[in-house]
Chains A and B, each alone.
Chain A
Amino acid sequence: MKLDSEEREMLAGAAGPAARWGIEYQRSVGEFFGAERMVAVRSAHIHCDGEALGEPGAAFLEDWARRGARLAIPMTMDPRSTDPGRAREIGQDDAIVAEEARIVGALTAMGAIPSNTCINYQTLDVPHLGERLAWGDTGTVIWANSVAGARSNFEGGPAALAAALTGRVAEYGFHLDEHRRGTVLVEVEDQPRCLTDWGALGALVGRAYPDYWEVPVLTGLERNPAPDELKHLGAALASYGSQAMFHMIGVTPEARSVEDAFGGEPPERRMSVPPGALAGLYESFLPERGAPDLVVFGTPQLSLLEFRRIAEGLAGRSVRTTVFLTTSAQVRAGADDYGYTELARAAGAVVLTGVCFYLMTARELARTRGFRTLLTDSAKLANTVQGYGYNPVLRPTDECVEIAVRGRFAA
């Protein structure tokens, strides 16, 4: 890989030991993928929950912080494993709070923003066409690439940190036009009707082509989806299929036409989503018992509009099971101001900030609180919690609200 003079100086240690570690690390990863050069990035976003890091990851960050490492560009942080003030109420150990504080402390000392959010693209760092980024959390990356037309690979924690220290990434994968072209044409004949249907569509397409290098091109949709619907579609494609980019004809910026999306080549492969396919996806998540142990809204974290819809559905009623709403500090401030938080709370729902359920030590909560059957409106969460021994059930948002109030699945 060719390095410019500034990068060669970094490699020689002129910008300090942390930048030197970063550029060496990035060169190794870049050379694996045949990258020819580094390119500047505007921001980084780091996945850094305590469960993923473990003790060695936390110690690694603390070591760099102690040695005075400073970030060269803005870096936001993904959700945490706990909402510190609420850990006991949730049923989490104090040790988790302490571990999270270590990680946040080390990263903020280096200059990172303790945003604790996976919807940075909806709130505090909105990307646009052609920008280069170094983002982690698959849902943020697929949004940046697809909806915004910005450019990022999935950057795991150390890779996002390296990028923030050097202000660069190696140019490979989704930074290159050749990887951004469509690889499979998806003809949708089962129209999504609600937010959860869009997640279900993403689950079907992701499951069919589970490969980072696949770029589905969606066509046949009768309606331009809302931002939250695109959010759930992308999060599900990334979760079920490890995909980092999709095109939607007439909606996403690099897909004005099918020809545009495929770079002028005819599609090599096609899949169809036939009538009834979405219902089939819901039916693949069957409850083992008549009542959910908990209902979770907010994977990805709730936007203000999503939050309001749930809060208004709960207004003046009482839930008969554990209900979690998870969101970011930015949305929470709005929800507090406009009275939505109070509506949800008064109904008995638990509103948590800066977290996401499957990062919230889900395996331990299953043991300590007896959680097994989890109802959600998020196709992504229905996928990820299975790895923690849950029995997920997927239903549309409004139906989840009704079940939460009823306390059982059957009407």
Chain B
Amino acid sequence: MSADERLVLRGPAGYGEAIEAEALVSSDGFSARYDLDHTTGVISREAHELYGQSLVGKVLVVSTAKGGTATGWRLFDLVERGTAPAALVFRATNPVMVQGAVMAGIAIMHRLVPDPVEAIASGDWLRLRPADGEIDVERRA
């Protein structure tokens, strides 16, 4: 692909304001309680593909939402600490991640075509328009 190639992902309307930021992509799932050091925003579970990487200010693009109901609170805590991602994109998310994102005011989208985990690379620049269910991808990786 050429460096300036653009791609648009489409799906159902998500939650949140339009936002743009760099992508951090993994085919692993994500739990805000068990995968993350909430004091730094760095992935802390050794077995995670993104171990050691910071999601602060990034659009986290992952396969599934993992973990229990603590996520409902945890994203709000991240925003207050300044260790939150800019937005969340899932292949398919569970309700608790959405409940947490709405509580925290973090944009969240899912069920997009083509598959975001395959179509987006870490380092790509993303423009999310949750109300329209669209993400523009600008290749930078």
Contact = CB atoms under 8 A, between A and B. Distances in A.
Interface of A: 25, 28-29, 31-34, 47-49, 51-57, 60, 136-138, 153-160, 172-173, 210-213, 238-239, 242, 384, 387
A50 B33 CA distance: 13
Interface stretch (B19-27, B53-61, B92-100, B120-128): B92-100
Interface string B62-97: 001111111111101101110000000000101110
A32 B12 CA distance: 8
A160 B77 CA distance: 17
Contacts of B65: 212, 242
9 contacts: A28-B102, A32-B14, A54-B73, A54-B81, A153-B95, A154-B68, A156-B95, A158-B102, A159-B96
Given A52-B33, A57-B77, A29 B98 contact: yes
B64 A156 contact: no
A401 to B, nearest CB: 28
Given A47-B69, A384-B34, A212 B99 contact: no
Given A156-B100, A158-B99, A159-B95, A211 B64 contact: yes
B38 interface: yes
Nearest to B12: A34
B29 to A, nearest CB: 7
A57 B99 CA distance: 14
A242 B67 contact: yes
A250 B71 CA distance: 34
B92 A213 contact: yes
Interface of B: 12-15, 29, 31, 33-35, 38, 45, 64-74, 76-77, 79-81, 92, 94-96, 98-100, 102-103, 108
A25 B102 contact: yes
Contacts of A136: 69, 72
Contacts of A153: 95
Contacts, number: 123
B98 A56 contact: no
Contacts of B64: 210-212, 242
B29 A210 contact: yes
Given A384-B34, A387-B45, A239 B68 contact: yes
Contacts of A238: 68
A284 B111 CA distance: 33
A47 B68 contact: yes
B66 A210 contact: yes
A242 B69 CA distance: 10
B108 to A, nearest CB: 7
A156 B73 contact: yes
B92 A157 contact: no
Nearest to A48: B73
Contacts of A55: 77, 80
Given A31-B15, A210-B66, 5 more contacts: A29-B98, A48-B73, A156-B100, A211-B92, A242-B67
A160 B73 CA distance: 11
Contact of B15 (A28, A34, A47): A28
Contacts of B79: 56
Most buried by B among A60, A138, A153, A212: A212
A81 to B, nearest CB: 12
Contacts of B34: 384, 387
Given A52-B33, A52-B70, A211-B64, A154 B96 contact: yes
B77 A156 contact: no
A60 B104 CA distance: 12
A158 B77 CA distance: 12
Given A55-B80, A210-B66, A157 B95 contact: no
A49 B77 CA distance: 13
Contacts of A239: 68
A51 B64 CA distance: 23
A25 to B, nearest CB: 6
Contact of B96 (A156, A210, A387): A156
B95 A138 contact: no
A58 to B, nearest CB: 10
A393 to B, nearest CB: 18
Nearest to A161: B72
Most buried by A among B12, B73, B98: B73
B14 A212 contact: no
A238 B69 CA distance: 11
A211 B71 CA distance: 16
Contacts of B66: 210, 242
A137 B12 contact: no
Given A29-B95, A29-B102, A159 B72 contact: yes
Nearest to A172: B95
Contact of A137 (B31, B69, B99): B69
B111 to A, nearest CB: 10
